[in-house]
Structure 1
Amino acid sequence: MPREVAVFDAHVPAIVLLFIAGAAVTWLLDRVIAYTGLYRIVWHPNLFRASLLVCVCGVLGLAVYR
């Protein structure tokens, strides 16, 4: 994947697009976790959500830039 992607004639860094995709995936995972009730066993749900976002974006970044 190139380092910059042209979106409507504006060059956007690819990592920004990966972050947007990661946020969408994290939102879907958050809904699934909330629906199944797994947040009852998590000590701090907001911290868990933030770390889930970091992990998902990290995996996407490694998958693309490897």
Structure 2
Amino acid sequence: MPRELDVFGILLPTLIPLLLASVVLQGLLDKLLAGVYRAVWHPALVRLSLLTCIFCGLTLLLS
């Protein structure tokens, strides 16, 4: 995994763009799973765990 990305001359850690991509993907999945959240005990916890799983998956995909 590259340690830093050069974005218009600014060096960013690789995890920042991955986190932003994870937030976007989680937002899309959140729209798709809107009806499922009514059946779970703690919707915010499910959303956080979904974001964590997406972020970890993207990180493992890159390494």
Q: What TM-score does the superposition give when structure 1 sets the normalisation length?
A: 0.89
- Specify the alignment match of 2:26 in structure 1: 26
Structure 2 gaps, min length 5: none
- Specify the alignment match of 2:46 in structure 1: 48
Structure 1 runs of 4+ off > 6 angstroms?
none
- Specify the alignment match of 1:61 in structure 2: 59
Whole-angstrom distance in 2 between the partners of 1:61 and 1:54 = 10
Q: What TM-score does the superposition give when structure 2 sets the normalisation length?
A: 0.93
- Provide the alpha-carbon RMSD of the alignment: 0.9
Structure 1 gaps, min length 5: none
3-state SS of paired residue (1:2) = coil
Aligned residue-pair number: 63
Query: Hey, which of these two has a bigger chunk of helix by percent?
Result: 1
**Percent identity at matched positions?**
44
